[in-house]
Amino acid sequence: MHAKQAVNDFVVKFANVNGTGSASANHMFAKAIFRMGIPVSPRNIFPSNIQGLPTWYEVRVSHKGYLGRRGGGVDLMLCVNPQSMERDVKEVEPGGYFVYDSTKPLDPRLIRSDINYIGIPITSMCLREYTDARQRLLFKNVIYVGALAALLDIEFGVLKDLVAEQFKGKEKLITQNVHALEMGHQYAVQNYACPIGLRVERGGNIARHILETDHILMDGNTAVALGAVYGGASVAAWYPITPSTSVVDGFETYCKRLRIDPGTGEKNYAIVQAEDELSAIGMVIGAGWNGARAFTATSGPGLSLMGEFLGLAYFAEVPAVLVDVQRSGPSTGMPTRTQQSDVLAAAYASHGDTKHVLLFPATPAECFSLTVKAFDLADRLQTPVLMLTDLDLGMNDWMSPPLHFDDQHTYDRGKVLDAEALEALAREGKRFGRYLDVDGDGIPYRTYPGAHPTIGAYTARGTSRDEYALYTEDGAAYVRNVDRLLKKFETAKQYVPEPKIKPAAKKTPYGAIFFGTTASPAYEAVEMLAEEGIAIDTMRLRAFPFSQAVEDFITAHETVFVIEQNRDGQMRRLLINETDVPAKEKLVPVLNYDGLPITARQIAAGVRAGIGGTDNVTPIDRSKRKTSRKSKP
Amino acid sequence: MTYQKPSFRHPAAQVNELGYTRRDYEGSLSTLCAGCGHDSISAAIIEAVFTLPLEPHRIAKMSGIGCSSKTPAYFLGRSHGFNSVHGRMPSVTTGASLANRDLVYIGVSGDGDTASIGFGQFGHAVRRNLNMTYIVENNGCYGLTKGQDSATADVGSKNKKGAANPYEPIDLVSMAIQLGATFVGRSFSGDRQQLVPLIKAALTHRGFAFLDVVSPCVTFNNHEGSTKSYAFTRERIEATPLDFVPMREEIRTSYAAGATQEVCMHDGSVIRLHKQNDEYDIEDAQSALQAIAHHNKQGRVLTGLLYIDRDAHEMHEVLGTVRRPLNSLTEKELCPGTKVLDSINAGLR
């Protein structure tokens, strides 16, 4: 029998039952590999359910540091869920391994001749060892992690350290967990040749750029939460929705640690769980108008509900930060599956002529830094800033460069006139006009309520107004106002983060544009294609409005693949709509929208199909070029 | 259209104890229909804050959409205002209050804005005991869209076209008491003597102060068959006269002293209720609800201060936020710095 051989380069998948405590054991498995300095990317593939339905945890180990999904089958399946066993067996790559609970014999129909079976009698071990029903259930997970450690050569000491950290101060739990790990470990060592063909190894073949960075392992939502703390958010209003909930949960956790007034024990923050998303964004806008940095976190359905208010904030020019952790839509869609399908809804949220500033982080480190940036942008531009992450980035742990903050950074509160500035203005004989374009950049000056007893008061409104914030239905005043808003949007281009451009090793007519979580598998696919002789320049978008660099990139290439995770090629359409260069013919969509993160193999196949062959010297025959939709992995 | 402000509002050079003239509390000219009850309420608000007194710039005027929500333009021109979206004034005010707890928030809404599209937000602002004065200018109809029945229109009351409303009304004061509002009053736009002290008391209350003010729509709901017309309301009103005595101010009362109940506010101000025979304990929610229902059955509208709970914690007290307004915090209080971040990074390895 062929047994797959690989060092630091394989995919392990756990098939569990939701609500059985597997998540923390699986996390420990991934963290142990990470602790050994080996790039790892774990992903929860979970149901919209609390208990009972199948749930999976996929861990990719990649010495090259590829963090996106590889695609194809898995190399090792650890299956302890009879419900899903039939499909789980099928998912194993030829030569791969199927690890199962052998307390009961395996159904002969599940036997494949081209994979290796490793049985561990987990249930009977637990029944023998424990009398408590809860322990019998929970330690199953720990036992299989112990067994995998032996099978894959994970350092046992690292696992013991993790247990000790997790249960710090609870000696009894530490002893019990280490014992369970040992039971699994010993069983594997005594019954199988360990390690199997797949194994991990410190140093070894790990890419140098990986070894040189002191990586962290964290999820995007927690990074956003910390970004909000560092960015100076003092008000958070939200309504629970998967997959964004842990953003505000994380914010609260860090605030309790970092934002308590040392003298009084009072809170330097306020968090309100609103009655719905309308109210959540309303509170953010009320707080922003009144000079506090405020944010909300939501997902697609919440974004839809917030539309009217986003239009108000755009038109009345109120700073607000909204984090949209995207999931599969439309409607309730697949609430626990990922997508990048809110791009257009976010860019143009609300009726009327409306455009919003968008940010697209790709890593936890960037979730942190762009959240900090979002608050500065919202204040500077006096407008909502929408940061689009997704379920994959938000809820999964990612190996990331450490979070970075510059102590020299001071908050950019934008153009705010305080009492002193208002008086200076009055001394110059000038009248304060809330919506006057004083500097010619489309950004007016604002005042906080209560700033001055006699000057600077105005009424913020969603109705049309003149430069002095007075209600008007004069068409000319309306046009002046909305044209200034457009000018302000143009000004925004100089403040938003530039795209990251990576040129290919040689000159090429091909470019690829992507953003967010599509970046990791896209870079991997580009390296795969480079080995095949297809050179591709890449541009990772980080913001909307698009800067000049985006137009230049499109202009510089004959064909530009726009890789994203939605059906309609929404970013492609936004590029066509919002750039002034001929783009429609050049931009070729490469898409995946089945709710699972796009894989490197899907992207590579999509690009090959788009080129119409694997030889990039062959001129493109546009008539034959077809859109690659959900190409096979 | 009210073209001119009545001159009696400008007694020459009269200043309040903060040194402001009445004009400092006025707004721009009203564009509502002449005789609109809402303009009387605006005048009552001006009178209340002028005599209380409050500094105009320490007040924020909040509103949603509708005739009522336009009125903040017509009073307190030196205050910031936020004319937001339909039915959403409560959430915007909640956010504003979170950012700066030191300002006085006056929200003006209508029966459509509160009892229909904004019903949810209203309920939750009540539940949080948001520290604000929430005034509903209640005319039982949609004025700006020309007279459709609202959710507070009485069953059987006729609209301008003569059609009778088939639905039971939502009684906002009962609703507010049931939801846990800590200050609930009802008045009539035409009863300045009752309305002004009620607004003053509401502004002094720490927590959610709700005022349902019956305010006839002269254009669409002031005809025979309407139960929110001037004539109907004047006839059926059951008023509990009251005075509001601000802290430090001498007692001036226009009502004859009868049986009175005094309610002392947190700042030392006093509300004096002039009791009538069928009065009840206004600190008991059940009695208040019964009294409202009782009068309602008799075809009367019970007005005055209907319920008060002076001990409940307002939103900031519940949240435990700092005394300082959150919008005044700087990097020093907000940003933990790189050393802390380094240790957070270390914990993620």
What integer pLDDT is reported at residue A628 of this predicted model? 52
Task: Report pLDDT digits (tens) over A288-298.
Answer: 999 999 999 99
Residues of B in contact with A290 (CB under 8 A): 60, 95-96, 99-100, 103, 327
- Does the fold of domain A500-629 match that of domain A218-400? yes
Q: Which two tokens stand for residue B284?
A: 């008991």
Query: What is the rounded distance in angstroms from the CA atom of residue A477 to the CA atom of residue A471?
Result: 10
What integer pLDDT is reported at residue A163 of this predicted model? 97
Angle at A297 between CA A295 and CA A300, to 5 degrees: 135
If you measure CA to CA, which chain B residue comes closest to A320?
Answer: B95
Contact A351, A314 (CB under 8 A): no
What integer pLDDT is reported at residue B278 of this predicted model? 60
Query: What is the rounded distance in angstroms from the CA atom of residue A582 to the CA atom of residue B116?
Result: 49
- Within an 8 Å CB–CB cutoff, is residue A352 touching chain B? no
- Say whether A274 and B320 touch across the interface (CB within 8 A): no
Query: What is the rounded distance in angstroms from the CA atom of residue B176 to the CA atom of residue B209?
Result: 10
Measure Cα distances from B279 to B110, B186, B283, B296 in Å: 28, 15, 12, 15
Task: Report pLDDT digits (tens) over B161-179.
Answer: 888 999 999 999 999 999 9
What does the pLDDT average to over B214-232? 89
Q: Which of residues 8-47 of A touch B (CB under 8 A)?
A: 35
Q: Residue B304 carries which side chain, given as an amino acid letter?
A: G
What integer pLDDT is reported at residue B276 of this predicted model? 60
Out of B77, B91, B319, closest to residue A270 by CB: B319
Residues of B in contact with A402 (CB under 8 A): 345, 348
Q: Which two tokens stand for residue A279?
A: 């109210």
Out of A266, A411, A448, closest to residue B331 by CB: A411
- Say whether B97 and A286 touch across the interface (CB within 8 A): yes
What mean pLDDT, rounded, does chain B reach? 90
Per-domain residue ranges for chain B? 7-323
Distance from CA of A105 to the nearest CA of B (A): 40
- Which one, of A303, A304, A280, A447, lies nearest residue B90 by Cα? A280
Contact A510, A558 (CB under 8 A): yes
CATH architecture under which domain A500-629 falls: 3-Layer(aba) Sandwich (3.40)
Out of A275, A282, A406, closest to residue B95 by CB: A282
Q: How many CB atoms lie within 10 A of CB A393?
A: 30
Per-domain residue ranges for chain A? 6-211, 218-400, 419-492, 500-629
Q: Residue A629 carries which side chain, given as an amino acid letter?
A: R
Which range, of A84-98, A367-381, B50-64, B210-224, averages the lowest pLDDT?
A: B210-224
Which pairs count as long-range contacts for A207-210, CB under 8 Å and 24+ apart, including other chains? A207/A39, A207/A63, A207/A64, A207/A65, A209/A65, A210/A37, A210/A39, A210/A63, A210/A64, A210/A65
Contact A276, A305 (CB under 8 A): yes
Query: What is the rounded distance in angstroms from the CA atom of residue A354 to the CA atom of residue A344?
Result: 12
Q: Which two tokens stand for residue B279?
A: 């009065």
Residues of B in contact with A216 (CB under 8 A): 345, 348-349
- Say whether B83 and A461 touch across the interface (CB within 8 A): yes
Query: What is the rounded distance in angstroms from the CA atom of residue B233 to the CA atom of residue B216?
Result: 8
- Say whether A268 and B333 touch across the interface (CB within 8 A): yes
If you measure CA to CA, which chain A residue comes closest to B18?
Answer: A453
Q: What is the CATH number of domain A6-211?
A: 3.40.920.10
Q: Which residues pair with A514 in a beta bridge?
A: A540
- Say whether B88 and A282 touch across the interface (CB within 8 A): yes
What integer pLDDT is reported at residue A557 of this predicted model? 98
Residue tagged 């970075």 (tokens): A404
Measure Cα distances from B118 to A287, A501, B130 in Å: 19, 48, 16
Q: How many CB atoms lie within 10 A of CB A448?
A: 23
For B299-332, b where at least 16 C-beta lie within 10 A, e where not — what string?
eebbbbbbbbbeebebbbeebebbebbbbebeee
Distance from CA of B324 to the nearest CA of A (A): 9
Contact B215, B41 (CB under 8 A): yes
Out of B92, B326, B345, closest to residue A216 by CB: B345
Residues of B in contact with A238 (CB under 8 A): none
Contact B32, B41 (CB under 8 A): no
What integer pLDDT is reported at residue B251 of this predicted model? 42
Pick out chain A residues at pLDDT < 50: 614-626, 631-633
Residues of B in contact with A235 (CB under 8 A): 95, 98-99, 326
- Which one, of B95, B104, B201, lies nearest residue A274 by Cα? B95
Q: What is the CATH number of domain A218-400?
A: 3.40.50.970
Alpha helices in A493-599 (DSSP H): 519-531, 548-555, 570-578
Query: What is the rounded distance in angstroms from the CA atom of residue A463 to the CA atom of residue A352?
Result: 12
Residue B24 φ/ψ region, left for φ over 0, alpha for ψ in the -120 to 50 degree band, beta for the rest: alpha
If you measure CA to CA, which chain A residue comes closest to B74?
Answer: A459
What integer pLDDT is reported at residue B257 of this predicted model? 43
Alpha helices in A556-624 (DSSP H): 570-578, 600-611
Contact A327, A300 (CB under 8 A): yes
From first CA to last CA, the distance across chain A in angstroms is: 25
By CB atoms closer than 10 A (0-12, 13-18, 19+), residue B125 is: buried
Prior bond to A243 cis, omega within 30?
Answer: yes
- Within an 8 Å CB–CB cutoff, is residue A447 touching chain B? yes
What integer pLDDT is reported at residue B11 of this predicted model? 54
Q: SS3 breakdown of chain A: % helix, strand, coil, rounded to 5?
A: 40, 20, 40
Q: Which of residues 221-250 of A touch B (CB under 8 A)?
A: 226, 229-230, 232-235, 237
Length of chain B in residues, anyone? 349
Distance from CA of A136 to the nearest CA of B (A): 30
Lateral strand order in the sheet of B270-274: B242-245, B270-274, B260-264
Distance from CA of B270 to the nearest CA of A (A): 27
Query: What is the rounded distance in angstroms from the CA atom of residue A443 to the CA atom of residue A124?
Result: 70
What integer pLDDT is reported at residue B158 of this predicted model? 86
Residues of A in contact with B108 (CB under 8 A): none
- Within an 8 Å CB–CB cutoff, is residue A462 touching chain B? yes
Mutation for B interface: A235, A256, A290, most B CBs within 10 A: A290
Q: SS3 breakdown of chain B: % helix, strand, coil, rounded to 5?
A: 35, 20, 45
What integer pLDDT is reported at residue B224 of this predicted model? 87
Distance from CA of A535 to the nearest CA of B (A): 35
Q: Which two tokens stand for residue B337?
A: 């710095």
- Say whether A258 and B336 touch across the interface (CB within 8 A): yes
Residues of A in contact with B330 (CB under 8 A): 411
Mutation for B interface: A461, A463, A464, A471, most B CBs within 10 A: A461
Q: Which two tokens stand for residue A471?
A: 């209600």
Residues of B in contact with A219 (CB under 8 A): none
What does the pLDDT average to over B294-320? 93
Task: Report pLDDT digits (tens) over A391-440.
Answer: 999 999 999 999 999 999 999 999 999 999 999 999 999 999 999 999 99
Residues of A in contact with B95 (CB under 8 A): 235, 237, 282-290, 294
Superfamily of domain B7-323: Thiamin diphosphate (ThDP)-binding fold, Pyr/PP domains (3.40.50.970)
